[in-house]
């Protein structure tokens, strides 16, 4: 079965075309991650046994966390990508095209135990091949999808805006939302981008004088892009 296109609607009301990652890309990514985990285990076997019973106890604890939290931590903090997925340029997203969250990542990875049945991910492979979006049982339960990473042209647009520090404290979700908005800017018309930017009223309700100039037709958009620049470390 060839990789397919899935059209999904984002929370902003924008349609995205996501290219679903097929069996080949996902299996290669899994093999890369398995190799990395194997190398870590081999390195630990050379070091920890020298510490006696304490070292072996620590070894088994690390193996447990490596098995269950390795994919989760990477998916959360690396935008849905483990090292293997990054090399294959694929990523895990929620079904609506937004970034995967803790609950979904934990659920999809815990259910790998069922996907492994009856041996070596046989059930997971069969489920993927029967699904038009190549979703295994963990993806179906967690409402996630694995797609090829999109090339975001909007990053070039972000750099054209000035940098503004947010005047209010932003939590991690709010920061990610602003960066996502900037990355998706090329999907919006200028009017729609301004309309969405105005929803962030605490950040754009009192625009500084430097933004309120005649040659900037969409000041709220410019302000929010400037904050995105700040959050991405462009000072």
3-state secondary structure of 5: strand
Whole-number Å distance between alpha carbons of 141 and 196: 31
What is the model's pLDDT at position 152? Answer: 44
What is the model's pLDDT at position 155? Answer: 42
Q: In this structure, are residues 18 and 97 in contact, taking their beta carbons and an 8 Å threshold?
A: yes
H helical segments located in the chain? 23-47, 52-77, 83-88, 102-110, 112-115, 122-130, 137-142, 154-158, 172-183, 190-197, 201-204, 219-231
What is the model's pLDDT at position 73? Answer: 94
What is the model's pLDDT at position 163? Answer: 81
What is the model's pLDDT at position 2? Answer: 43
Strands 144-148 and 5-9, by their bridges, are: unpaired
What is the model's pLDDT at position 157? Answer: 45
What is the model's pLDDT at position 156? Answer: 40
List the pLDDT tens digit at each of the 235 positions of the chain: 344 778 776 665 666 778 899 889 999 999 999 999 999 999 999 888 888 888 889 999 999 888 889 999 999 999 899 999 999 999 999 998 888 999 999 999 999 889 888 877 888 889 988 888 899 999 999 999 999 986 544 444 444 567 878 877 888 888 888 888 888 787 777 888 888 888 887 777 655 544 444 445 577 888 888 888 888 776 5
Domain ranges for the chain: 5-148, 154-231
Q: In this structure, are residues 145 and 93 in contact, taking their beta carbons and an 8 Å threshold?
A: yes
Whole-number Å distance between alpha carbons of 81 and 93: 9
| 104: nearest Cα among 153, 150, 139, 134 | 139
Supply φ then ψ for residue 167, to 5 degrees: -85, -10
Whole-number Å distance between alpha carbons of 28 and 46: 27
Token pair, residue 226, equals 């400037």
């Amino acid at each position: 079965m060839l990789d397919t296109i899935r059209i999904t609607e984002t929370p902003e009301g924008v349609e995205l075309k996501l290219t679903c990652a097929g069996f080949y890309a996902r299996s290669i990514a899994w093999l890369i991650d398995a190799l990395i985990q194997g190398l870590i285990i081999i390195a630990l076997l050379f070091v920890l046994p020298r510490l006696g019973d304490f070292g072996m106890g620590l070894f088994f604890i690390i193996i447990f966390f490596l098995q269950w939290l390795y994919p989760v931590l990477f998916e959360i903090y690396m935008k849905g990508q483990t090292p293997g997925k990054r090399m294959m340029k694929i990523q895990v997203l929620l079904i609506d095209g937004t970034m995967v969250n803790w609950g979904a990542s934990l659920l999809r990875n815990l259910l790998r135990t069922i996907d492994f049945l009856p041996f070596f991910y046989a059930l997971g492979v069969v489920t993927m091949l029967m699904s038009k979006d190549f979703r295994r049982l963990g993806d179906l339960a967690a409402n996630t999808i694995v797609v090829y990473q999109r090339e975001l042209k909007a990053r070039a647009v972000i750099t054209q805006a000035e940098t503004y520090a947010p005047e209010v404290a932003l939590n991690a979700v709010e920061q990610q939302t602003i960066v996502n908005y900037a990355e998706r800017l090329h999907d919006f018309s200028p009017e729609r981008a301004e309309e969405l930017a105005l929803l962030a009223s605490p950040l754009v309700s009192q625009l500084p004088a430097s933004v309120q100039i005649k040659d900037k037709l969409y000041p709220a958009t410019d302000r929010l892009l400037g904050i995105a620049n700040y959050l991405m470390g462009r000072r």
